[in-house]
Amino acid sequence: MTLAQQLPALAVAVPLITAPLAAAAMVFHRRHVAWLVAATASIASLAIAIALAAGVDPVHGVSYEVGSWPAPYGIELRVTSFSALLLMIISGASALALLAGKASLDAEVTMQRRPYFYAAWLLAVGGMSGIVVSGDAFNIFVFMEVSSLATYILIAGGRDPRALTAVFKYLIMGTLGATFYLIGVGLIYMMTGTLNFADMEARIVDVANLKPILAAVGFITIGLALKAGVFPLHVWLPNAYAWSPHVVTTFIAACSTKVSLYVLLRFDFLVFHGSLAGHDLQFSGFLMPLAVLAILVASGVAIAEGHVKRLLAYSSVAQIGYIVLGASLLTANGLTAAIVHFFNHALAKGGMFLAVACIALRARSLRLDDLAGIGRLMPWTTAALVVAALSLIGIPGTAGFISKWYLVVAALDEGATGIALVAVVLLSSLMAVAYVWRIVEAAYFRPPAGPDLAVRDAPAPMLAVLWAVALANIWFGLRPGLPLELSRAAAAALMRQIQ
Amino acid sequence: MEVLGHYNYWVFAFLLTIGLYAVIAKPNLVKKLLGLSIFQAAVFLLYISMAKVEGGTAPIIQGGAGEQVYSNPLPHVLILTAIVVGISTVALGLAIVVRIREEYGTIEEDEIQAQDRDR
């Protein structure tokens, strides 16, 4: 076997193998070793993800038999366009956050915790990568727990004691979600005797008594929606994002909920839509109202929120709503909008949280009142924040516009419901303008509070990565290229089971 | 008979509900974690029950024993993994409770929330 054929396994193995190396860095008594290991491994993962994304077969994907045991008996890794896109998001977010965030993490994570912190970071990357490449339902559960446990450690790794209560809540709800998923997988295994996705779909058709399968659909959908922060199961999300170390927020806001959404879409579209009559309409009838509520309610709460990170966290809940809304339209365009929004939202929100991490180095607190005049003290950081925010709103010429455009086009195919959905999207975009304006107003139109007027912008590495992300928001808005191609292919693959 | 024959699954549902109730209703964080543990144990029982084959023995192939009926070993292996996951989750949860106790001086949810509001 050549190296290229081993890439699906390496995407998981590289972060998992390097994690203990980062922890072992404690014996060196040097400050940078653990960070260096984590950053190098993340960049290697990103290279693997890009190689996979460039070479993936849009129809069948790439299949890999772990230990050469053939599917459905062995564990199958399957890299499709969808999973390649998510691999790029996960490893890209990790690499950029680590490259940019050293100064911020040094300030927030104490010295003796750092080796373990970076080990947990790599475990989170490895776990999430495992979820998106695995073709085995139980294997996904194990990777889900690996990444979740590591994420809890990351969130509680900083100094803010409020992170502890936030992470306890997240741990309880995350475990409930994962256990619900486990029950669902168990019920399916009971009726079909398989854990392999492709095999499962073929065998559910032959099941005589569908009741356990229908219960499994419920357990799996609710469990994954809980982990993905789908409204109204998002209550763990705002505090977990708000009180975690700022760079950790950048990383998890870009990818962690999206990984669960990926499993949800994969299960519903590839396994259930083809094998259960009428499931597509139930899926859409259940999730579309929740998506609309998520978009409107969470945007409304964001407008009223006084803390920048909580404001952006509620905005994330609304953006998850966009993804679910696109998927619940059950058309190729709708799914393309949903899947390309995985990428575009990661760019926009990751950029905004990174800018917030820069601001946190200088500002007294992240309450909007304490950010008065920060645009004059940190001109470059604030300008990048605004560029990413424009992308979040969906201004033409930015990445966010691409996903909203596809969403509106997809909605217009739906007749009267579609018009109402377009109205929802437009209204929520205006609400996004309103909550972003509150940040802009505080940053540019209020005089700085203290007497200290010297310009003290963020450290150069942070600024460089921040601007790279901000410019990427514009680049992918003008030339959507690879992410859009992958999303189209992924949407076409998911749609094959419908009709 | 149908109902009694499935008593394993009734115990599963019963434990699941008890666990979920404790997680939601108990304000004490350690009791919440115990509830979570019961909730997960219920799922272990679900998997173990489905592996049982009537008259089946332990799935070990013995030379000269002739044709035998075995229980399905796969769910046992799966649930061994899930038990490890459950232990890690509860251990991490307890570690967080210890840290919460250090920072807040209490492990009662309402008292912690009252302190958080003052921050």
Question: Between chains, do B81 and A142 touch, taking CB under 8 Å as contact?
Answer: yes
Q: For B40, which of A142, A165, A179 is closest by C-beta distance? A: A179
Give B-chain residues touching A156 at CB under 8 angstroms: 96, 99
Q: For B85, which of A145, A171, A176 is closest by C-beta distance? A: A145
Whether residue A452 has pLDDT greater than 70: no
pLDDT in tens, B88-103: 999 999 999 999 999 8
Contact A302, A279 (CB under 8 A): no
Among residues A145, A165, A140, A142, the alpha carbon closest in space to that of A155 is found at: A165
Whether residue A499 has pLDDT greater than 60: no
Angle (CA) A241 A131 A53, round 5°: 100
Per-residue pLDDT band for A112 (boundaries 50, 70, 90) equals confident
- Token digits of residue B97: 């409770």
Stretch B25-37: mean pLDDT? 93
Question: Between chains, do A162 and B116 touch, taking CB under 8 Å as contact?
Answer: yes
Is some CB atom of chain B closer than 8 A to the CB atom of A431? no
* Four-CA torsion A280, A281, A282, A285, nearest 10 degrees: 130
Stretch A309-321: mean pLDDT? 92
pLDDT, mean over chain A: 88
Is some CB atom of chain B closer than 8 A to the CB atom of A218? no
Whether residue A402 has pLDDT greater than 80: yes
pLDDT in tens, A191-235: 888 888 888 888 888 887 888 888 999 999 999 999 998 988 889
Question: Between chains, do A172 and B99 touch, taking CB under 8 Å as contact?
Answer: no
Instruction: Give the Cα separation of A133 and A124 in Å (integer).
Output: 14
Query: From A73, which residue of chain B is nearest by alpha-carbon distance?
Result: B74
Instruction: Give the Cα separation of A465 and B90 in Å (integer).
Output: 38
DSSP-assigned letter for residue A456: -
| Selected residue with higher pLDDT from A451 and A226 | A226
Query: From B24, which residue of chain A is nearest by alpha-carbon distance?
Result: A172
Give B-chain residues touching A138 at CB under 8 angstroms: 78, 81
Q: What is the pLDDT of residue A498?
A: 65
CA distance A191 to chain B (A): 10
Question: Between chains, do A176 and B36 touch, taking CB under 8 Å as contact?
Answer: yes
Q: What are phi and psi for residue A58, nearest 5 degrees?
A: -60, -25
Q: Which residue has the tokens 């008065």?
A: A372
Stretch A466-475: mean pLDDT? 91
Question: Between chains, do A176 and B39 touch, taking CB under 8 Å as contact?
Answer: yes
Query: From A171, which residue of chain B is nearest by alpha-carbon distance?
Result: B93
CA end-to-end span of chain A: 39
pLDDT in tens, A23-48: 887 777 666 888 888 899 999 999 99
pLDDT in tens, A223-246: 999 999 898 888 999 999 999 999
Is some CB atom of chain B closer than 8 A to the CB atom of A155? no
CA distance A305 to chain B (A): 15
**DSSP string covering chain B, please?**
-HHHHTHHHHHHHHHHHHHHHHHHH--BHHHHHHHHHHHHHHHHHHHHHHH--TT-B-S---TTS-S--B--HHHHHHHHHHHHHHHHHHHHHHHHHHHHHHHHS--BHHHHHHHHHH-
Percent of chain A past pLDDT 70, that is, above it, reads: 97
Per-residue pLDDT band for B1 (boundaries 50, 70, 90) equals very low
Q: What are phi and psi for residue A157, nearest 5 degrees?
A: -80, -10
- Residues in chain B, total: 119
Q: What is the pLDDT of residue A356?
A: 92
Give A-chain residues touching B82 at CB under 8 angstroms: 141, 182
ipTM rounded to 2 decimals = 0.93
Helical segments of A396-415, H only: 399-412
Among residues A242, A190, A184, the alpha carbon closest in space to that of A216 is found at: A184
Task: List, in order, residues 6 or more apart from A239 with CB less than 8 Å away.
Answer: A162, A165, A166, A169, A310, A313
Is some CB atom of chain B closer than 8 A to the CB atom of A420? no
- A-to-B residue pairs, Cβ atoms closer than 8 angstroms: 67
Give B-chain residues touching A141 at CB under 8 angstroms: 82, 85
